[in-house]
A and B are shown apart, each in its own frame.
Chain A
Amino acid sequence: MPHRWNRRAFLQSAAVLPFAAALRGGAWLPRGNPRTLLVLELEGGNDGLNTVIPLDDARYAQLRPTLQSARRGALPLGAAPGGGGFGLHMALAKVHARVLAGSAAVLHAVGYPSPDRSHFRSRDIWHTADPRLAAVRADTTGWLGRAADRLATAGAGLPAAEIGGTELPLLLRSANAMVPSLRRAEDFALQVDDAAGAGPGRRAAIEALAAPRADQGLVGEVAHVASAAIEQAGRLRAALQRYQPRADYPDSPLGRDLQLVARMAIAGFGTRLLHTGLGGFDTHARQLPTQQALLQELDLALDALLQDLGRHDALADTLVLVHSEFGRRVLENDSQGTDHGAAAPVLLLGGGVRGGVHGKGPDLGDLLDGDVRPTTDFRSVYRDLLDWLSIDAASVLDGEFAPAGACAR
């Protein structure tokens, strides 16, 4: 089956906007070059303390006798505003260059009060933006899903999508908007059996049959929907045919997913909220080689994405958030690994980023129960992103949160 659409059903409620009106108003296709957000989740709990490494603190070496060797190769961030005393894991070379150039940002110690160390719960908290989440019910929505609902009521037909996965994560669960899960861009195209040898013009003929102009009533409404669908699919098809990758994506699942993200962002398709994940970060034992390999994969794939976007003039309107459901404990364990922790740094890349290092770095003398104490609330980061997307942050986050200041307007 070529389609891996998720089961989210609903679409615009007839009570909110009659279809015909919405479509006639042309609100289906957003105007201008839409700003796109990609949330890239590092699944399993990336060890933040070995990603953004304190260079001068002697306690680091005491608490991490084996893992401290990451510090030796760390790339210093001193040249970036706010970066003194810290360095990036050496596998993140390209990210490092961007931080110094001002087109990427690092935010220290992002988390929430009363950290939860369960993968599922902490992930749910980040996804719903609700640290007091009691239980996930069938109608619980995620913060990106709620943002997608806002976009959907403004007329966008496909505001958000999950890239590369099959299950729709909680963060994209919405009340109204349809959020599909895509593996390939071709998934959202009008399929017509026009293989070689078939009569020419089959596609055009079927499109014409579907969307006649003159009909009224319910038939007319259906025809309107059909014509919108055909037009969208046609635009996407044309845009994708024009797309040529202008960067070398690594041959990995993440590389392929990010290439799809680039295609969608460059095609200006109107899908503005995207999510994908990279797994394997739950490094309870022998962390050094595992984290090295994963961060390297991340660095290469991200670099390809950003280069490709830049060369297509789409970088200014794309923002990437890299985060994990929690960091890991400061004290290493007996298996040269670390266990689940609390706050961790996040990365922001792309257009609209105020480069450099933001927030208060982890203080190894002031730990919260052995973990890095959160100094920035993750919802402040979300606030920055929603402001940049021009979506009402207070209603999506169900509260007012001060912006973290890592994004330009």
Chain B
Amino acid sequence: MTDWLAPWEPTAADPFDLAKAGHLLRRAGYGASFAERQDLVRRGLDAAVAHACGDGAAGADPAERWLEPLLAFDDIARLRETRVWIALQGSRPLRDRMTAFWHHHFATSNRKLQDPRALARQFATFDRLGLGAFDDLCAAMVRDPALLRWLDNDVNLRGKPNENFAREWLELFTLGRGNYSESDVRAAARACTGYTVVRGEFAFVGGEHDRGEVELLGARGPTDGDELARRTAAHPASARLLAAKWLRWFVHQEPEPAWVGELAACYEQRGRDVGATLRVLVRSRLFFSPAARRGIVKSPSEFVLGTVRACGARAAPKQLASAIAAMGEAWGEPATVEGWRGGRAWLTPATWLLRSNFAAELFAGRLGPFAPGADALLAPATSRADRAQLALDLLLDGDCSPASRERLLAFAASPAADGPGAAGALLHAVTALPEYQLL
């Protein structure tokens, strides 16, 4: 395929149907209910992309509205639950996904910080700047109190440099391994001296800042953290690092190298505007090609939130956040500096069991409120075959392999699908299909 970042045009043979709408909303958001998907199909691809990007989102931004009450709790579990709640509202799908993306990217852990409020403010920064220019985001993050304390930059002082922040900035957040030298790390560390945190706020302590000349990424002269942010954000290696991550996040967990280069170029052309680039990506031929279909293993949050949103259901964020954390994606407490490995690493026998059990409990109504219940969800269908089809439509856009469909129909027709909890069991059965683990 050539020119695969070009916009995809639906045709009669390859229309923008339920499966495509579901694909779009699952990736550029946390999924959508059956009714919403049908509505988007009716309104067409452009309207659907606009909806995913949050154009014309109605009402106040729930993330902004609930920030202050969330700060009052000063609790990391409440932070996770609130983010879950915001994602369930689904008013700004791509924004919610990108806040999660940036959290994975700038992985900061409360286990060391013990300061949930600082993390909540970091998430608020992602909400505000996550879909804007990467340069602006970097400028903000180099002064982010949570990030500075997490990477020990608050003890990075003139004459006693601490390289942790500088190293991770270059290696993980911007350029990536192999695109800088050890002397760049030392230079960056010196540049960031004096960038510290006082009483929870960023403070620049001039007396601790190393004003000497450093050679950083080919340019010589006195530098500070803001300059580091500017140079690294604009560096072509950062573009490739981000492009690769976005492809893994939105297209396929093993992207082709050619795609990376093209997407990076597209990003540069748009002035390093994240939102604009992603808008091109989710509108593109690559995004809607068979190569991208079911090419990513769902992360715990995509699995849990996607299931609840696909059913158009209301559920208790507390239970959902707890389940997501148990499956290995505890927001606010990433396991290492690199965040989470993702991809295949999400799925092992142990986590598969957790996912299956989560679905079983959710549909049986044993995980707190699940409104409307499984019975109400499948009530519109009367015959067994119709119920199976409806369950498939709800959860899989009706899009699965013929073999899976046959097996599911056989299950629905069998006596095993009778009795109390039948609707819940049928929905559980759909989530048991291998396709359901894939985004």
Contacts and interface: CB of A to CB of B under 8 A. Distances in A.
A38 B403 CA distance: 46
B350 A139 contact: no
Interface string B131-167: 0000000000000000000000000000000000000
A10 interface: yes
B417 A199 contact: yes
A1 B337 contact: no
Contacts of B333: 7
Interface in B316-361: 319, 322-323, 325-330, 333-337, 340-341, 343-354, 356-357, 360-361
Interface stretch (A104-112, A118-126, A219-227, A256-264): A219-227
B425 A138 contact: no
6 contacts: A3-B323, A9-B335, A9-B346, A137-B112, A212-B404, A220-B434
Given A9-B328, A191-B356, A198-B421, A157 B349 contact: yes
A11 B415 contact: no
B360 A193 contact: yes
Contacts of B42: none
Given A19-B344, A193-B364, A193-B425, 12 more contacts: A11-B345, A11-B350, A14-B344, A138-B337, A157-B350, A192-B428, A201-B415, A205-B411, A210-B356, A210-B432, A212-B434, A222-B347
Contacts of B238: none
Contacts of A205: 411, 414, 416-417, 429
Contacts of B346: 9, 11
A318 B111 CA distance: 34
A248 interface: no
Nearest to A11: B348
A199 B416 contact: yes
A158 B352 CA distance: 13
Contact of B350 (A13, A195, A220, A229): A229
Contacts of A180: 350
A96 B349 CA distance: 42
Contact of A9 (B337, B345, B363, B434): B345
Given A195-B420, A202-B417, A190 B325 contact: no
A222 B437 contact: yes
A232 interface: yes
Interface string B401-428: 1011001100100111111111011001
Interface in B103-128: 109, 111-112
Contacts of A288: none
A394 interface: no
Interface in A141-199: 157-158, 178, 180, 188-193, 195, 197-199
A167 to B, nearest CB: 11
A206 B432 contact: yes
Which range contains the number of B residues in contact with the other chain? 35 or more
A5 B354 contact: yes
A208 interface: yes
Contact of A12 (B327, B345, B354): B345
A223 B434 contact: yes
Report, nearest first, the 7 A-B pairs whose CB atoms are least far apart.
A9-B328, A229-B349, A199-B418, A11-B348, A201-B416, A198-B419, A7-B330
B217 interface: no
Nearest to B408: A209
A220 B403 CA distance: 13
Contacts of A12: 345, 348
A210 B433 contact: yes
Contacts of A5: 326-327, 350, 354
Contacts of B360: 191-193
Contacts of B347: 11, 222, 225
A316 B337 CA distance: 42
Interface in A1-32: 1-14, 19, 28
A11 B345 CA distance: 5
A363 interface: no
A214 interface: yes
A178 B348 contact: yes
Interface string A34-71: 00000000000000000000000000000000000000
